[in-house]
Structures are given as C-alpha cells and as structure tokens.
Amino acid sequence: MSKPFDLYDITIIGAGPVGLFAAFYAAGMRGMRTKILEALGVTGGQLTVLYPEKYIYDVPGFPKILAKDLAKQLEVQAMAYKPTLILDEKVVDLKRLDGGIWELQTVKGVHFSKTVLITAGHGAFTPRKLGNPSVERFENMGVYYSVTDKWMFKDKKVMIVGGGDSAVDWALNLKDIAAEVILVHRRGEFRAHEGSVIELFHSPVKIMIPYEVKEAYGKDRLEAVKIFNNKTNEEVVLEVDALILQLGHLVDVSLFKGWGLEMEGNAIKVNGRMETNLPGVYAAGDIAHQTDSVKLALLATGFGQAAIAVNVAKNYIDPKASLFPGHSSEKRM
Ligand SMILES: Cc1cc2nc3c(=O)[nH]c(=O)nc-3n(C[C@H](O)[C@H](O)[C@H](O)COP(=O)(O)OP(=O)(O)OC[C@H]3O[C@@H](n4cnc5c(N)ncnc54)[C@H](O)[C@@H]3O)c2cc1C
C-alpha cells in the first residue's frame, strides 16, 4: 500500500505493452515520477496472457518476435528508468481532489497523481467460462483458461475447447509437446486465421466438431471429459490430463464509465492529444478511441498514442516544458 500523498507526476493504469512503453517514455524520456498499477501479477497484458507463444510480425524493427519476448523487452526498457511498478493491484476508482490531484483507489489502497494515463486494454481479463460446475471444480487442477508455461503440458493428453485463433494456435503450439491434443469446437467451422486452420487440418491434432463439453470427471484433479455431438447427441468420454478453455474474454469497461469518462462503445473517448474529458487524464492503446481517427487495436498505434499522451501530460503539469522531448538518440539515457 502506498503512503498517503506520495504524489507522482503520472500514474499509468495497466502494465500491458502500451503502459510499459508509456512508463519508459515518462520516466526515461521526460524524467517524470512514474507509477504503474497493474491488476494482474504479471506485466505484458495480452502479450503475456493471451498469446505468449505467438510470433508478432508487425512491430517496427522486429521482423519476427515472440509475444512473450516483446513483453519482456518492454519491461526491461521501462524498468531501466525505475518507475514504481505495482502488480496485483486493480484500480477500482478515480477521483479528483481539491487542487486537481487525482486519487486512484485500488483493491489495496490509494495512490495520488498529478496526471493519469489509462492503458487498460479491454479492462481486467475475465475469461469466459463454460458455466458447468463439474468443469469449474477442477480449475487449476487440470482445467485452465490460459497457458503461461506450455511445458507443463509436456507428454500430457490435452483437450482444448474453442474455435477462434487462441484455441487453434494453442492446439498447433502444443501438438509437438503434448502426448495428444484434442480440439473440441461446437461449430462445423473455425473462426481462426485461414492459414492456421489449414495447418490444423494437416496436423496430428484430433479435431472433434461439432462437439461440446458435457461433464468433467476426476478425484483430486481432472481425469476425463465427456463431450457430445450437438447434431447427433452421440457422447464420448475421453481420458485427459488437462482441459484448456479458450472461449474468449469478457470485456468489462463499466468501471471506466463510473469514473465519469466519456465512452465510445467499449473504449474511452480521446482527442488527438489523447486527452479524455477529465483534465489531466489520458488514455492510449486498445482502451482508447480517438475521435476523428480510425480505431486500430495494434501495438504500433498504441505505442504512438502512449508517446503523445505522456508528452501532453508533461506539458500539462509543467506548461513551460516542451511538448517535443527531443530524440532519444541525442539524450544521455
Ligand atoms: C491473439 C492476439 C494476437 C494479436 N496479434 C497482434 C499482432 O500481431 N500485432 C499487433 O500489433 N497487435 C496484435 N494483437 C493486439 C495487441 O496485443 C493489443 O493491441 C495490445 O496488447 C494492446 O496493448 P494495451 O497495453 O493497450 O492493452 P493490454 O495488452 O490489454 O494490457 C492492458 C493491461 O491493463 C491491465 N488492466 C486492465 N484494467 C485494469 C485496472 N482497472 N487496474 C489495473 N490494471 C488494469 C490488464 O490486466 C492488462 O495487463 C493481438 C491480440 C491478440 C488477442
């Protein structure tokens, strides 16, 4: 918990890629006293939680980089300038105090800041569940909603459920590590990237379509799963060591509406300076919708927005400070 009135220049909500880059920019490029508050126990946001083992090809300067490696590099870049990074602390409220100071209420305490940059992606990650108590009883005992270490499935029989990119990518990723991979999807077609689906049908992954999970069995941990064909009602019980549910994530941005922020759908409305309707509060990355622009939920656009937001925030707290920070190549970093 932070001390009362330990005032920061900028507090960044969310240590995803955009928040980490913003922290580098604020602490490293602008010398701002910087704090990052992250709801999860890890940094990297979607890179770490949703697709750590996928290659990214459209980050400038990296022809190809694994998402987890990019997340690590962003963390190293940010932490070189010693911002205060606080994990496992979800921000739940934001209030303006007398004198224009912002009070951020988290699940553990309060923090104070002259400016706030919201880089919260799609809000807190809440995996979509099956709503089946026989499955939920084995959560973390064979049932998982994300994969942070693929090697835990080495030589295991793994069932993956879902039809989107995450499900198909994990099936392909684990096929050479696991003893067997079974992909269960309730529809006849996959929503995943066409190239991945072609690879899937040429791989040893056992594809069960159109099947759905009916029941999970086991003593202390998951041992088997019953699935059924939703056209014929035929049931099959398959022995598995792990069930990985890739059913997407629930987007909950209601929190931000409660803070008095103007929204555009599920995103926070910002202008070209990344300013929200609240003075000294900015947004960048997936959570931001820039009016009069095109919404592209991409790393490259998020990084650019982070740089704009930080420079504008610097100028907000010190109007004499130039908006343009100069080039990093000309600085003694
Ligand atoms: C499968 C997949 C593949 C992708 N591939 C690419 C690609 O190839 N190229 C590309 O450019 N983009 C890609 N993207 C998109 C890219 O990952 C996102 O644009 C990027 O992660 C957005 O970064 P962000 O920091 O804005 O948000 P996020 O990565 O979502 O991070 C937000 C962080 O904020 C935290 N947070 C949320 N609410 C709170 C709160 N109240 N308090 C504290 N912390 C909070 C979250 O826990 C999270 O850590 C892909 C996305 C997916 C899902």
For 32-47, the pLDDT digits (tens) are 999 999 998 899 999 9
Helix (H, G, I), strand (E, B) or coil at 193: coil
Ligand 1 site residues, Cβ closer than 6 angstroms: 13-19, 37-40, 45-47, 50-51, 54, 56, 58, 90-91, 119-125, 165-166, 255, 285-286, 297-300, 302
Best CA proximity match to 125, nearest among 38, 238, 229, 27: 38
Q: Are 29 and 118 part of one and the same domain?
A: yes
Residue 34 CA to ligand 1 centre (angstroms): 20
**Other C-beta atoms lying within 10 Å of the C-beta of residue 171:** 30
- Cross-strand partners of 116: 11, 281
- Closest ligand 1 atom to the C-alpha of 299? 11
Question: Is residue 308 predicted with pLDDT exceeding 60?
Answer: yes
User: How confident is the model at residue 4, as a pLDDT?
Assistant: 63
* Pair 81, 28: CB distance under 8 Å: yes
Q: How many domains does the chain have?
A: 2
Tell me the pLDDT tens digit for each residue of 216-234: 999 999 999 999 999 999 9
Choose the final residue of a domain: 247, 272, 306.
247
Q: Are 135 and 97 part of one and the same domain?
A: no
Residue 215, domain CATH: 3.50.50.60
Choose the final residue of a domain: 182, 215, 247.
247
Residue 248 CA to ligand 1 centre (angstroms): 13
Q: Are 65 and 121 part of one and the same domain?
A: yes
Residue 25 CA to ligand 1 centre (angstroms): 18
Q: Are 137 and 104 part of one and the same domain?
A: no
Query: Which structural domain range is residue 153 located in?
Result: 129-247
Q: Are 180 and 321 part of one and the same domain?
A: no
Mean pLDDT estimate for the chain = 94
Ligand 1, atom 45: closest residue by C-alpha: 14
